[in-house]
Structure 1
Amino acid sequence: MQDSETTNEEENATFIAEHGRLLRPVSHSAFDPFRRHSSKPPLLIDLLIKFSAIILIPLRLSVALISIFLSYIVVRLFGPVVTNHSLTHFEPTVLPRWRRALVEAATKFLGRALLFSLGFWTVEGTDHPEYDHRKAQKATILTNHSSLADPCLLAYLYAPAFVAKSNVWKIPGVGRVGAAQHAFYIDRLNNGGISVTQAISDRQRIVDSSSSDIPPVAIFPEGTTTNGKHMLAFRTGAFVAGLPVAPVLIRYEYTWFSPTYESIRTRPYLMGILSQPWNRVRYYRLPIYYPSEAEKKDPVLFANNVHAMMVRESEAAFREQLVSSNSNYTDKLEYHAITRGAKLRKGLQLHLDSPVSASDNPSAST
């Protein structure tokens, strides 16, 4: 018994040395944005869903593959040349208007086709009375992030340049279509020694000042996905340039399986969303937010004010206000470590807002 306690103390000491503190209990409020809220359908409905999945999944995958192939062909023929240099350095080479229109149409087509293949038969959305789509195309598109379908929806609405992980570039066809819209593949930028924030700011300024049709930048300022009921604190990268932003609110409605992608693993997520006969999404586009002089000088103030405005407007948009949260991606990793039994990356510094004792640590033996 003594040896067990000593071993546990040593493990706790090692964990604290690596991460700053012990894991928090799974009930901690910092993990609320990442808790999944799906429910099990009744047995008969569950059997019907599984039966329909045998037909739905192959059909949906076929739609996705065909749409990716068609969009890929269009951007290869009419889009800009993509090189390793162009992936890390944006050069505002303007395509002829008709070619840019084709590339934009291919991107929007792919976004809508992928939504369709994921079971979103219809896309419902409304605009604030003061929303101006032409001006939004010159601003930076911002939205809450809760599903893998979010980029598809924004591609359909705006055909923007996404700030995406380098893994997206490796997705056959999809990565090339994104590159045609000058997407940011951020790992490549970092590896090239270029500040991602600086690259985003430079692109924002080019889009804002150019009279040509350059795709707007689209950013998920929360930095990760939630369960759709919360809005995480915004990162400041989208706000450093001090330029207008076009906020969009997205909400997924469901009966049993939630299309949100917060803590569910990728394989069961894809199986669930592809098996469900239909999925529902709604969006609400807010007016362009023009920063004040104080906000232009203070990205944190700018980010916080846009965040507060989006939380406030979510009540009018969906009759249910999003919950403002100070949680972030590190909290999500910690939650996954607790619920999945995964090991946290060595050296990852956890938040110090709520240190816990060994007796509170769910991983400690009792």
Structure 2
Amino acid sequence: MATRDSSPSLSAPLDPDKAFIQSHGRLPRPLEHAAFDPFRRAVLKVPTWVSLLQPLCAVLLIPLRLLVAVVATLLSYLLVLVFGPPVTARSVATFSATPLPAWRRAVCVFATKLLARALLLGLGFWTVRGRDAPAYDHAAAQKATIVSNHSSLADPCLLAYLYAPAFVAKRKVYMIPGIGRVGAAQHAFYIDRLNGSGLSVTSKMVERQNLVRESQVPVPPVCVFPEGTTTNGQHLLKFRTGAFVGGGPVAPVLIRYRYGWFSPTYETVRTPAYLLAILSQFANRVEYYRLPVYHPSAEEKEDPALYARNVHQLMLEKSEEAFGHALVHSESNFVDKIEYHSLVWGRKLKPGFRLTNDR
């Protein structure tokens, strides 16, 4: 008498939910989940007359804007190539900084601010408006770490125009012709957010922060977007602690974009469509508010998470004073954004990509 095989059939399909959990750590969340709110894009109905004028604006404005950007990039590149510090693949990979004589550093600062303002102009920001808090001290801010909310590709341009700092940026930014080299002249940190060593970057950042404060010759201040990714400009994500580990002072900056039909925020929009739309819009508007330099207490120096939370809370509180509209706190992060993009754009997450909140 034949016995019945109790083992599961080799042809039986694996439960898709179980497979997803095994690969990504948990089940996917629905599109309406609150964790995705900071990445939802505001889509306005464009009036017919605007949609008819947009192609004309694109034909007339985009070539001129690109010309401005190319000329400024070339000039800035040549200036930092001749007068800036030597840049090698090793110096970029190890985030090493070379202090320069004051006059050479001034040339690099000029080149950086020239490029930044030209890029803002090319993106349609004819004017840059902002206010400083009564106790704001620009000289002190240049010795602190610049921290800002992050919602647009124009954010680095604005902060480069204001401070000419060393940014913590994605490694692929270094590959942008001219722009990556100018950033390297300011000793930018080019990192891989998903595969890089966070501890190494943080330790190097602390070294640089100390160098900025203690060096007798000018060294560009470090600039960090502690949210770790861009939002729709209505939220302020929980801060990562990297910028606060060193226990030095920070200079918080709040940025807001006002718009008519197309939002300059860069949260959930494909890059080609984003650039085409922002370059075709006749004018874009940005404003900033610079808070006084924040000096941490003894407790905050010992606890970077506490330090980060307190600065985050301060920026939330001051956002309404700055712009008449308070930012909303969110615990979301870059991994939530990747998951949201996978839902919106129908992309499959790479096997092994962990949907956890520890990044």
Q: TM-score w.r.t. structure 1 length?
A: 0.91
**Residues 143 and 250, structure 1, Cα contact 8 Å, conserved in 2:** yes
Quick check: 1:27 aligned with 2:32? yes
Match of 1:221 in 2: 226
In the TM superposition, 1:65-76 aligns within 5 A as 65-76=70-81
CA distance in 2, matches of 1:95, 1:210: 11
Match of 2:331 in 1: 326
Match of 1:186 in 2: 191
Deviation at 1:345, TM superposition (A): 2.1
CA distance in 2, matches of 1:192, 1:295: 24
Matched residue type, 1:100: R
Cα distance, 1:352–1:134 mapped onto 2, change above 3 Å: closer
CA distance in 1, matches of 2:200, 2:74: 33
Q: Deviations over 1:184-227 (max 9, x none)?
A: 11249x77997011011110011111122100000000000000
Of the candidates 22, 46, 50, which is equivalent to residue 41 of structure 1?
46
Deviation at 1:94, TM superposition (A): 2.6
Quick check: 1:278 aligned with 2:286? no
Deviation at 1:8, TM superposition (A): 8.3
CA distance in 2, matches of 1:193, 1:351: 16
Quick check: 1:108 aligned with 2:113? yes
Q: Deviations over 1:272-306 (max 9, x none)?
A: 10000000000000000000000000000000000
Of the candidates 298, 303, 308, which is equivalent to residue 293 of structure 1?
298
CA distance in 1, matches of 2:91, 2:336: 34
Of the candidates 141, 144, 148, which is equivalent to residue 143 of structure 1?
148
CA distance in 1, matches of 2:229, 2:12: 35
CA distance in 2, matches of 1:310, 1:7: 54
**Residues 125 and 284, structure 1, Cα contact 8 Å, conserved in 2:** yes
Matched residue type, 1:158: Y
Deviation at 1:90, TM superposition (A): 4.8
> Aligned with 1:164: secondary structure?
strand
Quick check: 1:77 aligned with 2:89? no
Q: What is the percent sequence identity of the aligned residues?
A: 61
CA RMSD of aligned residues (A): 1.9
Quick check: 1:154 aligned with 2:159? yes
Question: What is the count of residue pairs matched by the alignment?
Answer: 347
CA distance in 2, matches of 1:262, 1:90: 28
Quick check: 1:263 aligned with 2:263? no
> Aligned with 1:195: secondary structure?
helix
**Residues 97 and 187, structure 2, Cα contact 8 Å, conserved in 1:** no
Match of 2:126 in 1: 121
Deviation at 1:71, TM superposition (A): 0.4
Q: Which runs of 5+ in 1 are unaligned?
A: 1-5, 354-366
Q: Which runs of 5+ in 2 are unaligned?
A: 1-10
Runs of 4+ aligned structure 1 residues displaced above 2 Å come to 6-9, 88-94, 190-194
CA distance in 1, matches of 2:226, 2:196: 21
Matched residue type, 2:336: D
**Residues 247 and 310, structure 1, Cα contact 8 Å, conserved in 2:** yes
Deviation at 1:38, TM superposition (A): 2.9
Matched residue type, 2:282: P
Match of 2:56 in 1: 51
